Each structure stands twice: as C-alpha cells, then as structure tokens.
Amino acid sequence: MNKDGTMKHLFKPERFYGVLLFLGTLLAVKLLWFIVEVIWLPSSGIDHIEERGGKSLYYRTRLTSPEAETPLPSKPSRPVKPVGSIKDIKLLGIYHASDMTVVTVLYKGKTKVLAKGEKINGFVLEGAGSNFALFGKNGKRYQVDLLKQHGSRNGSSIQDRSSSPEEAEVSSAPKGEIVDAGDHRIVDRSLVEHYANANNMKDIMKDIGIADEKEGNALKGFRVTFVRRNTPFAKLGLRRGDIIKAINGQEINSYSAAMNVYNNINKMENLTLTIKRGKEEMELEYEIN
C-alpha cells in the first residue's frame, strides 16, 4: 500500500501485454508452419517413413588379412609309380591238374615259375586251363593266353594231364642211353630233351609217379610212387618210396621250385638229386652230355 493509502500494483501492465504479444506471435508462427507443411511440403523426409518392399542388402566382408590370402607355394608332387599291367606278363608254360597248378611266365625279361596263389606284378595266379592262366587283382580276373612257340625248347607249355588222349600228340619213343659210371651216371642229352618237351609230358607220367610229401601243410619234397621197369627213370637209380628233397642244392619245397628245374634242365650239364630213402639221405650224381 502506498503512503497515500492506495493499493500498490504487483505487475506492470506494459510487461504483461509484452508477454501476451510474444506468446501470440509464437502461436501464429506455429500455426502458419503447420499450414505450409500440410499444403506445400512433400510426403517424404525425416518425419515421414514409407514402408516399401525391397531386397535386403548384403555386403561382402573380408574376414582375413590380405597377407593370409596369399597362396602358399605348392609342394612338388612325387612321381606316381605306373600301375602294373597284365600285358607285362607273358605265359610260357602251364602244368594244370586237379590237385596242382603251376605256370611259367616271362616278366621284365626274366622267367619265373608260379604256383597257384603266388603273386607277380600285383596279380595272383588263381588257376589255369590247357592253354591259358587266370590271374586276379582287386576283385577282377584276367586271362593270359599261352604264347605260341616256334620250335623253341625254353618256355614250352606243360599240358594239362587231365586232357583226353585224343588231344595229346603222339610222341616218339625216348632215345638215348644212361650209363652207370660207378660214382655217377652219364645221361644222353637226347633223353633230357625228349622229356623236357611239353608234348612228351605224358611219357614222364607213364614211366614214373610223383606225389606231394608234406608235413602238415608244408611241402617237404616229392615222393616217387612207382617207377616202370627198364625205363630211363629206372636206370637213373630211383626207387619207389624215394623222396626227392633237393636238386643241385636247391630245396624242392614248392611247385615253383620243381617247375623251375624242369624248365631249365636243358641248360644243365650236371645234376645232383638229394633223396631220402627210408631213414637214410643220399645223393645221386648225373652227368649230361
């Protein structure tokens, strides 16, 4: 209250009108902006989001450093060994029967004798016929035909003894003598050549019988089951019951060993048979000329 008794004003009127004018101006500007936004501004921008179908964007990200992408130097590859071919095996000779199969083959320039179940160049001998042999490898079977010989002694085939007489060629009687020289016997080479000829194989089986001699499953030699009288085999000094254990120091403990001697007998000049007669072991000496 003033001194003169009048009431004192808390607000000056000019200030009050100034505030109202300021608020009114703000309201007018806001209203004007709203009208402009609705009428003239496009329906896009920061305050407007329109959903549109589209594909997602994928970006390739390099997870490794550029150094890691540098290819490492490759190691030099080892030379691959060539796989053995059945064509590398040449069939030179066959001995096939119900209880025995033995063949002679030529491989890498060398002659080798195989019994059934033995392997060469990765191929296993499984069987044979009168003019072929069967080999197996990796579940497959291969037939190798017997090479035709043109008057050659080496590598002649030993025919199947189970073949019929009609199939066998008629052979001439063996010629040549065997002379007893006391500590050894002298054998005419013509006899050796006769029995080494494949076509005359039946003469061997007619004049002498040979059977396996085993201890368990191990072959220990070949037993003489019979010898015909007055034949060259009888003149060699062999007897029924003799067990041939070695020839020229080589143990005859496999079909391969026996056939190896048979295929090379034409080249021999001396022959030593180690036999067991009863409980005694002895040697029979021969000179071939």
Same domain membership, residue 182 and residue 136: no
SS3 185: strand
User: Which of 96, 128, 145 lies at the terminal end of a domain, its last residue?
Assistant: 145
Q: What is the extent of the structural domain holding 106?
A: 86-145
pLDDT band at 281; cut points 50, 70, 90: very high
- Residue 74 in domain: no
- Same domain for 262 and 199, yes or no, is yes
Inside any domain, residue 221: yes
Domain boundary among 101, 124, 145: 145
Structure tokens at 152: 């050659």
Percent over 70 (pLDDT), the chain = 66
Residues 182 and 233 reside in one and the same domain: yes
Residue 184 included in any domain = yes
d(CA 33, CA 47): 14
CB 135 within 8 Å of CB 141? yes
pLDDT value at position 236?
A: 92
Mean pLDDT of 149-159: 39
pLDDT value of residue 144: 93
| 7 assigned to some structural domain | no
The 10 Å Cβ neighbour count of residue 210 is 15
Q: Which residue has the higher pLDDT, 108 or 10?
A: 108
Q: How far apart are CA 134 and CA 129, in angstroms?
A: 8
Q: Are residues 189 and 284 in the same domain?
A: yes
Residue 158 has pLDDT above 70, yes or no: no
Lowest-pLDDT range of 148-152, 160-164, 265-269: 160-164
Residue 160 has a pLDDT of: 37
The pLDDT tens digits of the residues spanning 106-138 come to 888 887 778 788 899 999 999 888 788 999 999
156: Cβ contacts below 8 Å, ≥ 6 apart:
92, 93, 149, 196, 197, 198
Task: Give DSSP secondary structure letters for 28-94.
Answer: HHHHHHHHHHHHTS-S-BTTB------PPP------S-TTTTSPPPPPPPPPPPPPP-GGGEEEEEE
DSSP state of 165: T
pLDDT digits (tens, 9 = 90+) for 259-280: 788 878 888 999 999 999 999 9
pTM of the model: 0.48
Q: What is the CATH number of the domain that holds 91?
A: 2.30.30.830
Whether 135 and 145 have beta carbons less than 8 Å apart is answered as no
pLDDT value of position 246: 93
Q: Confirm if 250 and 241 have CB atoms less than 8 A apart.
A: no
The answer as to whether 154 is a domain residue is: no
State the number of CA atoms in the 13 A half-sphere of 167 facing the CB: 9
Q: Which tops the pLDDT comparison, 80 or 194?
A: 194
220 and 274 both lie in a single domain: yes
116 located within any domain = yes
Are 122 and 205 in the same domain? no
Same domain, 201 and 273: yes
CATH number for 192: 2.30.42.10
Are residues 262 and 183 part of one domain? yes
Q: What is the pLDDT of residues 204-263, one digit of tens each?
A: 878 888 888 888 888 889 999 999 998 999 999 999 999 999 999 989 888 778 878 887
Residue 47 CA, chain-centre distance (Å), reads: 78
- Tell me the DSSP string of 97-147: ETTEEEEEEEETTEEEEEETT-EETTEEEEEE-SSEEEEEETTEEEEEEBP
pLDDT digits (tens, 9 = 90+) for 31-61: 777 776 666 655 555 455 455 555 555 555 5
Which tops the pLDDT comparison, 79 or 265?
A: 265
Residues 136, 192, single domain; the answer is no
> Could you give the CA distance from residue 268 to residue 249 in angstroms, rounded to a whole number?
14
Q: Are residues 252 and 193 part of one domain?
A: yes
| 76 within some domain | no
The answer on pLDDT for 150 being more than 60 is no
194 occurs within a structural domain:
yes
How high is the pLDDT of residue 245? Answer: 93
pLDDT, one tens digit per residue, over 167-206 is 334 445 667 889 998 899 999 999 888 888 766 777 887 8
Domains contained in the chain, number: 2
The confidence score (pLDDT) of residue 164 equals: 37
